[in-house]
Amino acid sequence: MWLFTIAIALVLAACGGGDAGTSSSPAGEDATADPAESASASADATDDGETAVVTEEQIQIGASGSNSWLPIRIAAENGYFADAGLPNLQFVQIGSAPDAANALAAGEIQFAGLAFERAVLSTQQGRHVQCVMSIQDTPPSSVVVAADSGIEPGDWESLAGKTIGVVQGGWSEIVPKYLMQVAGLDVDSVQWTSTPNTGAMLSALQGGQIDGFSGIEPAQRQAIAEGYAEMFFDLEDPENLEEFWPDPFQATCLQAQAEYASANPEVVAAVREAIVRALGEIHSDPSIAVDFAADAAPDVDRSVWEESIAALEVTWSEDGELSEEAIANVQELLVDFGILEEALPYEEAVFTGS
């Protein structure tokens, strides 16, 4: 059993601008109904070949600077939202996940990229928020340790008595604690300390204040590239995912207030279309995302972005679908962790287009 209680947050990282194209997949039997199928106004061509405008209204999608949200940023940068009929949609970078969640709940933005549980927590607090599409099916997390630590990679028992940095409440904290419990070990045998962002993680490891950290891209790849860290456990390794993590799963999603989504299904469909297009192009050619990130952070060696994007590609959804089984699995884990008091029915947690 998972016995500890945590809150929810996301870590910040850098990203920037790039290039992309088209791809989508039909919903599976257990997936949500595609809003595009229930909203015929989404990006239909006019008689003269131009894309029909879904709405002229200004729409904002907010998220932190985490690389998790690169598909959204690429869609915005390359005009995919305009192509889908939303000429006045903007991506707004927000300082933290809690700030993005608050802005969404207050109606200051129409969509937010957040960890799945944010939608459930908002709903349980009286503001009904739903996931409208998947961004990441699995957490973008891995654990690194100091290169001179002598800790054997993958030996969770060897972390006993060590100090590991985490971003409290997010996948950064959930992943290592979950895996320790899977291994039958006492979570409290490790000293978990707050390293609230990428800079704090890197400086604490370099300065010897921690023995390792559970990072979200690209912190761990940067530390390894700079020579002072080595990989301890990589959840973004497909073999590790298959062996140790629930499948299917839902890590992050695009979220909207339920009332807004219900009143604007054609907008939801167009937003989804644009992001699925970006996801498809990234999976077809990951260098699109590498270029995007590298252009924004030229002081970081390009190899860091190449390895980070290769890892993130494992987590990013292929088609944006939110299956009932994936939603059930993530809610079961979060309830066991004490993050959620109880699970929501699928139709409350996910916008199905009706």
Q: Give the residue from 280, 279, 351 showing the smallest Cα distance to 322.
A: 351
In angstroms, the CA 5 to CA 27 distance is: 34
What string of pLDDT tens digits covers the 354 residues of the chain?
222 222 223 233 323 233 333 333 333 333 334 444 434 444 455 555 567 999 999 999 999 888 999 999 999 999 999 999 999 999 999 988 889 999 999 999 999 999 999 999 999 999 999 999 999 999 999 999 999 999 999 999 999 999 999 988 788 888 999 999 999 999 999 999 999 888 899 999 999 999 999 998 889 999 999 999 999 999 999 999 999 999 999 999 999 999 999 999 999 999 999 999 999 999 999 999 999 999 989 999 999 999 999 999 999 999 999 999 999 999 999 998 888 999 999 999 999 986
Spatial contact of 41 and 266, defined as CB atoms under 8 Å apart: yes
Record the pTM: 0.84
Main-chain dihedrals φ then ψ at residue 325, nearest 5 degrees: -65, -40
- Report the alpha-carbon angle 348-93-205, nearest 5: 100
> Which residues sit opposite 165 in a β-bridge?
193, 213
In angstroms, the CA 182 to CA 180 distance is: 5
Kindly state the tokens that stand for 229. 């860290």
In angstroms, the CA 176 to CA 179 distance is: 5
Q: What one-character-per-residue DSSP string does 198-261 give?
A: HHHHHHHHHTTS-SEEEEETTHHHHHHHTTSEEEEEETTSHHHHHHHS-SS---EEEEEEHHHH
Is the alpha carbon torsion for 95, 101, 102, 106 positive or negative? positive
- Give 345's DSSP letter: P
In angstroms, the CA 9 to CA 118 distance is: 9
CA distances from 111 to 43, 194, 270 (A): 19, 29, 12
| Residue 60 burial (CB count, 10 A) | 17
